[in-house]
């Protein structure tokens, strides 16, 4: 049987980043990617500066820039009819721009970087099961590109296989212990930018009209551009039933957005999803860990998924590489990494939950944006960049000042503005309190941030396949090698029953 240090299931963002980090550290790494690259995956593609720096660390940035992307040097934010904020980005490392590269071409660059670092990336390889020995994940069973079922032993299994992670299902971490229902859906298309060669082609633009967000992301290769509408999730079924009629309705509803893309050519088909509930899963256990969307996902309204997937992959790979020889030290290192991940992503999780609410923009926020007009220096744009957290940008005095200013501007509506502002301030204080508490794998819901009503599908079914003759001495996850445990789930969350034979991680009370 093959034996390696690490098997990574999934070879896109998180998987490639982890593979590169581990291989550079001298570890023997195999990556099993189900698809054959290039292939598409649903994504809004935005890489803010911190994400670009992760690509640089992988040694893939030169190849990414060779794809001829547009460089978004700043942001233009429209809040209704009379507030427009224009800002440049805060730099992150050597980067002061934002990119939007289609996954069909970006993922090839990242996988190639992992290969150059020394990882064995096997495309067309579908993971089937986790193998167990002595209560630890000890390898995986997979079907290779030729259809043959193979077993591979390893010290560590990393699941980088997305929201519907088979690894999560097989190690018993399928059910998130915390989550939030999305209010928004995504409807987007590619087109050739009619403003190619102008300053607008170097600007990320967003309109907040009524209850919808519209965005334009100049993409790659130039002049390709993404035009995106994030309105109520109910827009998605209508867009699938009547794509062009619904798109025409969006353009009528959002005149600034319509003007920006007027005259576009080479217009692609509409793509959409309304299945984007946010969550945290238990993401480390004996001999295994989950990275990228497999372990944590936040609403895509803030465009942070790619950056976080790359960051998770790299940092998990670095943590594992330093402890791979000692099983106990490896498990402890990955548990510390998981807690670090939660600390890194918690503020953005709450920010995304706020942004996915279907409601007019809070009057206090509109007033804050009004006061930020004309400055040009990075300020509100730091929320997009994650240079600072929401709590650092929108301080309590600033929120209170925005609410007072909005009431002074519209005195007849002062009472309704106050009523709208108080719950938001209460939620903000609760988010700050949670960050200070630092509870690991907490199932406590922050009222006003996390939205109830989300459900979770059944885990991927286990397939019956013949056991390779080389697998004596280890068991699949349906056997006795897997440990059983409990993952706490809030009573308000509806989830599918766990697969009876699937193990789960021990979680402290």
Tens of pLDDT, residue by residue over 89-108, are 999 999 999 999 999 999 99
Is 96 within 8 Å of 88 (Cβ atoms)?
Answer: yes
260 has pLDDT over 80? yes
pLDDT of residue 473: 57
**Global pTM?**
0.92
- Ranges assigned E (strand) in 23-83: 29-33, 46-47, 74-79
pLDDT bracket for residue 282 (50, 70, 90): very high
Q: What residues contact 32, with CB distance under 8 A and at least 6 apart?
A: 7, 8, 9, 10, 11, 122, 125, 126, 127, 140, 142
Is 404 within 8 Å of 368 (Cβ atoms)?
Answer: no
> Which H or E run includes 413?
none
Q: How many residues does the chain have?
A: 509
Distance CA 95, CA 49 (A): 6
Query: What value does the mean pLDDT take over residues 185-202?
Result: 97
The Cα-based distances of 320 to 16, 121, 131, 307 in angstroms read: 15, 19, 19, 20
Strands 120-123 and 284-285: unpaired
Number of other CB atoms surrounding residue 490 within 10 Å: 14
Strands 46-47 and 284-285: unpaired
Indicate the angle between helix axes 363-372 and 396-409, nearest 10 degrees. 100
pLDDT of residue 42: 86
> What average pLDDT does the chain have?
92
pLDDT tens-digit profile of 131-179? Answer: 999 999 999 999 999 999 999 999 999 999 999 999 999 999 999 999 9
Query: What percent of the chain shows pLDDT beyond 90?
Result: 89
Answer whether the bond into residue 317 is a cis peptide, omega within 30°.
Answer: no
Helix/strand/coil (H/E/C) assignment for every residue in 302-313: HCCHHHHHHHHH
pLDDT tens-digit profile of 313-352? Answer: 999 999 999 999 999 999 999 999 999 999 999 999 999 9
- Give the burial class of 135: count Cβ atoms within 10 A of its Cβ; 0-12 exposed, 13-18 middle, 19 or more buried: middle
Distance CA 331, CA 287 (A): 7
509 has pLDDT over 80? no
pLDDT tens-digit profile of 427-471? Answer: 999 999 999 999 999 999 999 999 999 999 999 988 777 777 656
Nearest to 36 by CA among 113, 122, 119, 150: 122
Is 498 within 8 Å of 459 (Cβ atoms)?
Answer: yes
Lowest-confidence range among 77-86, 465-474, 498-507? 498-507
496 has pLDDT over 60? no
Distance CA 225, CA 245 (A): 21
């Amino acid at each position: 049987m093959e034996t390696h240090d690490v098997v990574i299931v999934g070879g896109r963002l998180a998987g490639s980043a982890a593979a590169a980090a581990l291989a550079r550290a001298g570890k023997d790494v195999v990556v099993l990617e189900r698809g054959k690259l290039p292939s598409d995956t649903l994504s809004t593609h935005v890489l803010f500066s911190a994400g670009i720096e992760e690509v640089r660390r992988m040694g893939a940035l030169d190849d990414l820039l060779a794809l001829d992307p547009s460089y978004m040097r700043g942001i233009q934010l429209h809040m209704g009819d009379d507030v427009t904020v224009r800002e440049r980005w805060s730099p992150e490392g050597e980067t002061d721009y934002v990119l939007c590269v289609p996954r069909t071409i970006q993922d090839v660059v990242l996988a190639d970087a992992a290969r150059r670092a020394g990882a064995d990336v096997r495309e067309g390889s579908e993971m089937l099961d986790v193998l167990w020995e002595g209560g630890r994940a000890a390898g995986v069973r997979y079907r290779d590109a030729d259809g043959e079922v193979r077993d591979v032993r390893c010290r560590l299994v990393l699941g980088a296989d997305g929201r519907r992670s088979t690894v999560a299902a097989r190690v018993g971490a399928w059910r998130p212990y915390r989550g939030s229902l999305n209010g928004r859906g995504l409807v987007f298309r590619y087109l050739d930018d009619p403003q190619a060669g102008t300053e607008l082609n170097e600007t990320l633009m967003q309109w907040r009209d009524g209850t919808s967000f519209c965005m334009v992301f100049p993409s790659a290769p130039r002049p390709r551009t993404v035009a995106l509408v994030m309105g109520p999730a109910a827009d998605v079924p209508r867009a699938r039933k009547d794509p062009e009629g619904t798109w025409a309705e969006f353009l009528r509803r959002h005149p600034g957005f319509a003007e920006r893309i007027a005259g576009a050519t080479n217009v692609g088909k509409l793509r959409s999803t309304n299945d984007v509930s946010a969550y945290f899963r238990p993401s480390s256990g004996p001999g295994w860990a989950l990275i990228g969307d497999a372990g944590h996902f936040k609403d895509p309204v803030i465009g942070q998924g790619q950056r976080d997937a790359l960051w998770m992959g790299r940092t998990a790979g670095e943590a594992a590489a330093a402890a791979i020889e000692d099983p106990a030290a490896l498990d402890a290192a990955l548990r510390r990494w998981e807690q670090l991940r939660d600390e890194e992503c918690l503020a953005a999780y709450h920010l995304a939950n706020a942004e996915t609410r279907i409601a007019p923009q809070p009057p206090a926020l509109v007033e804050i944006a009004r006061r930020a007009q004309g400055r040009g220096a990075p300020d509100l744009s730091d929320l997009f960049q994650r240079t600072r957290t929401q709590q650092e940008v929108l301080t309590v005095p600033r929120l209170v000042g925005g609410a007072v200013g909005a009431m002074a501007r519209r005195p007849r509506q002062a009472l309704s503005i106050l009523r709208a502002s108080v719950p938001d301030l209460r939620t903000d204080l609760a988010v700050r309190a949670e960050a200070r508490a630092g509870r690991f794998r907490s199932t406590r819901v922050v009222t006003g941030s996390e939205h109830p009503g989300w459900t979770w599908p059944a885990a991927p079914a286990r397939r019956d396949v013949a056991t390779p003759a080389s697998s004596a001495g280890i068991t699949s996850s349906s056997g006795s090698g897997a440990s059983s445990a409990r993952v706490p789930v809030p009573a308000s969350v509806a989830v599918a029953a766990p697969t009876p034979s699937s193990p789960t991680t021990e979680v402290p009370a």
